[in-house]
Structure 1
Amino acid sequence: MHEFTLPDMTCGHCRAAVTEAVHELDSQAEVVVDLPQKTVRIDSDLPRARLAGALAEAGYPPA
């Protein structure tokens, strides 16, 4: 399980974009977004750095 803080994530569109970015890499990943806390938890076997890169490319760089 990987947890990231995404300061730029603010709305439902952001939630969808983050979820889609993760699922493009790992369609089986479980993605739990907490908008008020601006965090995302990702259950995936992929390396943390690869997930962080995908989030950054989608416009939500982890803090």
Structure 2
Amino acid sequence: MQRYKIDDMSCGHCVSTVEKAIRGIDPAAKVNADLGTREVSVETTADSSTIVQALKTAGYDSLRL
């Protein structure tokens, strides 16, 4: 499982955008976003650099935890 901190994720629309970005590179990914901590957990076969880039393209800077 990979975890990311996304400080700019602050609403349901943000969560939807983040999930869409991750599923755009791995449609089978399991994504769990927590707005309280602004963290996302991802179960995927994609490597973390690909996920970070997909999030950046969607407009979100992220930090792998």
Per the shorter chain, which TM-score range? over 0.9
Report what 2:22 is aligned to.
22
> TM-score normalised to the size of structure 2?
0.93
Report what 2:62 is aligned to.
62
> TM-score normalised to the size of structure 1?
0.96
1:50 aligns with 2:50: yes
Identity %: 32
Q: How many residue pairs were aligned?
A: 63
Structure 1 stretches of 4+ with a deviation exceeding 2 A read none
**Cα distance between partner residues in 2 of 1:41 and 1:52:** 13
Report what 1:40 is aligned to.
40
Structure 1 residue 60, shift from structure 2 partner:
1.0
